[in-house]
């Protein structure tokens, strides 16, 4: 922690200089862009470069006309495609987060309860895929899941099935891809939380007659709440807007909002519509991001 004397000595001007550069950078390249997205979401589609009409225009010499156009938003709510895609994205992200928790919690717990030397190796093995290209790891599943892919070949060889199963380009493939890609994001914060746990509490509970699963439910789970929340947010929020995984594994019917935005932008060149989709998605996700930030703040306050 900082002591007051330390602050005084650094001086206000020095502090200002240190944070000014990253502050201004993020203001210009992270915050201002959202203002522009908001602006363009209110403009008309135009057959020009760039493909939108200006919001503010000089009419004649002395009058300035501001034209705010709500058509893009009206369009999002009249065409069922967009709402459907948005709801489906939330559903997919939510189920994927639950699946990550079911797989990741026991893993994080197992790592946290290993001897320190084993723990470092196990942790390294979780981090390693996270450093390897997401695109290549998603690509690996095409080879595993396709009709003459590894899984079908093994199942046929074992005699379990006679016809290859259709797995690639289905919702199943998409869930597998998302859970596989985001699992490390859930395990790492959860492990960081469980590592700080006082395991003697569990022994005490068992000495007092708690069954192991009762002790887990009453002590471990509530104490790891912040880790569970932080990990879940790190999976849920980006998964809602995921593009690569549904595009590669989900097939043409996998309606995800990130993919809709991508197609509006790249295939239809409808930049204002894409901007409106982005704003809608942002409005939906900002509460979760704020929640994540407050959980993080609580976690780091608890660590000190």
Residue 109 within binding range of other proteins, rule CB under 8 A: yes
Site map 199..218 versus other proteins, x via CB under 8 A: x---x--------x------
For other proteins, the closer of residues 70 and 106 by Cβ is 106
For residues 19 and 23, give the distance between their C-alpha atoms in angstroms, rounded to a whole number: 6
Structure tokens at 298: 């609580």
Q: Give the Cβ contact number of residue 292 at 10 Å.
A: 18
Site map 275..294 versus other proteins, x via CB under 8 A: x--x--xx--x--xx--xx-
Q: Which residues 152-171 are close enough to bind other proteins by CB under 8 A? A: 153
Nearest approach, Cβ of residue 146 and other proteins (Å) = 7
Residue 110 within binding range of other proteins, rule CB under 8 A: yes
Residue 301 within binding range of other proteins, rule CB under 8 A: no
Start-to-end C-alpha separation, the chain: 8
Residue 245 within binding range of other proteins, rule CB under 8 A: no
Residue 197 within binding range of other proteins, rule CB under 8 A: no
Answer for which of 33, 70, 78, 84 binds other proteins (CB under 8 A) is 33
User: Minimal CA–CA distance to 68: which of 58, 79, 55, 81?
Assistant: 55
User: Minimal CA–CA distance to 257: which of 244, 270, 272, 241?
Assistant: 241
Q: What is the DSSP string of 242-275?
A: --HHHHHHS-TT---HHHHHHHHHHTS--HHHHH
Site map 63..102 versus other proteins, x via CB under 8 A: ----------------------------------------
For residues 190 and 127, give the distance between their C-alpha atoms in angstroms, rounded to a whole number: 13
Answer for which of 227, 231, 250, 258 binds other proteins (CB under 8 A) is 258
CB of 1 closer than 8 Å to CB of 304: yes
Answer for which of 59, 62, 131, 267 binds other proteins (CB under 8 A) is 131
């Amino acid at each position: 922690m900082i002591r007051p004397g330390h602050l005084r000595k650094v001086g206000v001007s020095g502090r200002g200089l240190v944070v000014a550069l990253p502050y201004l950078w993020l203001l210009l390249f992270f915050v201002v862009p959202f203002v522009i997205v908001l602006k363009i979401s209110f403009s008309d589609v135009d057959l020009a470069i760039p493909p939108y009409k200006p919001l503010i225009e000089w009419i004649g010499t002395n009058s300035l006309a501001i034209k705010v156009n709500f058509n893009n938003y009206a369009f999002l709510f009249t065409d069922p495609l967009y709402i459907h895609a948005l709801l489906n994205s939330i559903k997919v992200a939510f189920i994927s987060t639950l699946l990550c928790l079911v797989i990741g919690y026991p893993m994080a717990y197992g790592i946290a309860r290993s001897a320190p030397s084993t723990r470092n190796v196990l942790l390294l093995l979780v981090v390693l895929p996270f450093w390897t290209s997401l695109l290549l790891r998603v690509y690996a599943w095409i080879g595993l899941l396709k009709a003459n892919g590894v899984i079908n070949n093994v199942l046929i060889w074992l005699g379990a099935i006679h016809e290859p199963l259709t797995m690639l380009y289905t919702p199943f493939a998409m869930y597998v891809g998302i859970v596989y890609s985001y699992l490390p994001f859930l395990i790492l914060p959860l492990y960081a939380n469980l590592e700080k746990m006082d395991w003697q509490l569990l022994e005490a509970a068992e000495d007092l007659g708690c069954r192991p699963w009762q002790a887990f439910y009453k002590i471990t789970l509530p104490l790891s709440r912040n880790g569970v929340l932080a990990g879940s947010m790190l999976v849920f929020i980006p998964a809602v807007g995921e593009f690569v995984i549904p595009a590669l594994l989900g097939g043409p019917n996998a309606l995800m909002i990130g993919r809709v935005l991508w197609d509006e932008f790249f295939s239809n060149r409808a930049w204002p519509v894409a901007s409106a989709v982005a704003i809608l998605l942002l409005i939906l996700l900002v509460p979760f991001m704020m929640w994540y930030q407050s959980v993080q703040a609580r976690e780091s306050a608890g660590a000190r």
